[in-house]
Amino acid sequence: LSLEEVRMLVELFYLPYHHGALAQELLEHFRWLRANSLSVGVPATAPDACGGTRWRGRAQSFQLLCARTCRLHSRFVSTAGRALLYDLHPYLWDIRNMLLAASAFILWLGCQSITAPILLGRDAEPWARRGGLFGELQALLPVGNSCDLFYHPPPLFPSSQLYLLRPLLPLDKGWSVGAGCCPAGVSQGLQAQLSRAPTLPGRLLGSFLSLSPEYTFVLEDEGGPCGYAAGALHAEGFLQQRDSSWLPAVRHKYPPDLGAGGPALGQEAVLFFHAEPLAVPQPVLRRFPSLVQLGTAPRVLDVGASRSLALCLLSALRANGSRGVFCQVSDTDRQQLSFYSKLG
């Protein structure tokens, strides 16, 4: 580790009731950005345009500090001696995960035009949160009082993988349809036909990309996109719109005979949209008005990155007034059941 990296490590975990310069700067930026997020959606020609410019400047500074801390975690795992690594890694891993979520939440705020103050939960008991930088960052997230979301053991085998967590970008919407996914040995005509079939991300995320893109987040590693979190603030209206307009349009685009005679994967991709979705009971919708869906690629072994995905999505929903969420999982889908169970 360089001298600068050692200094960063010390400043992140300085004294029990006193932060180092880096930790203090992170907190000051986060507090200010959250408190002044109402100025972001102001058009550039409005009298308060300079307020939006200042907000984005501080947001960029906050993003750079978060990125430096995430790189510090990666470097520490790669270079520290084993004894030191296993002593200090749980603390640095916690901060890395928290800053992934906080950074994505600030990026999301910069894409929104929120017209009401960010909603927070009731004040938690003092014992409910940890001390230090982690606890103060936790308190600043809209879901900071949902303490179970923040307590999870570190991995047995620390990974130096770098992750980026961000809101959906317009380019990501190209996932809805993908070409070139056909195996060898398939005729050119059938390849051309199946290249129009929706890819796996398109099947999982198509309705969210079309109807609720503002609550969609992407996790990336060095290999590209490796995870997603998608949500709908008002699930009842979202599901009605999905069933009445989005699904019929997609079914018309991908008729059931499109994948006939082709590989099973292509046929499954087409038939996916022709299965009738299960209705959500009204008591569920009344108690948990928002819908969420999350997933990661098999190569993402670090549950901390998945937790950060959940934290930023739930924070975005809570900031706009959601009081509860649910997800839909098939009771035969062991992979998804295991994934959500690990998230708690």
Selection from 210, 209, 227 nearest residue 218 by Cα: 227
Enter the pTM of the model.
0.83
The position carrying tokens 């190569």 is 299
Q: What is the pLDDT of residue 278?
A: 84
**Local confidence band at 119 (pLDDT 50, 70, 90 cut-offs):** low
Q: What is the pLDDT of residue 189?
A: 38
Selection from 283, 251, 286, 287 nearest residue 270 by Cα: 251
Domains of the chain, earliest start first = 1-150 (1.20.58.240), 161-174+184-343 (3.40.630.30)
Share above pLDDT 70 across residues of the chain, in percent, rounded to a whole number? 76
- Which of 58-67, 199-208, 259-268 has the lowest average pLDDT? 259-268
| CB contact at 8 A, 215 and 233 | yes
Tally of CB atoms within 10 A around 119:
13
pLDDT tens for residues 94-115? 999 999 999 999 999 887 655 4
* Averaged pLDDT of the chain: 81
Distant-in-sequence, close-in-space partners of 184: CB < 8 Å, separation ≥ 6: none
pLDDT tens for residues 168-201? 876 665 554 332 222 233 333 333 333 344 455 5
pLDDT tens for residues 54-109? 899 999 999 999 999 999 999 999 998 889 999 999 999 999 999 999 999 999 98
Tokens for 256, please give them. 């059931």
Selection from 135, 142, 130, 172 nearest residue 311 by Cα: 142
Using CB atoms within 10 A of its CB, is residue 153 exposed (0-12), middle (13-18) or buried (19+)? Answer: exposed
Read off the pLDDT of each residue in 247-259 and give the average, rounded to a whole number. Answer: 78
**Local confidence band at 339 (pLDDT 50, 70, 90 cut-offs):** confident
DSSP secondary structure letter of residue 217 = E
Selection from 307, 294, 302, 341 nearest residue 100 by Cα: 307
- Which of 2-11, 66-75, 170-179, 303-312 has the lowest average pLDDT? 170-179
Read off the pLDDT of each residue in 126-151 and give the average, rounded to a whole number. Answer: 80
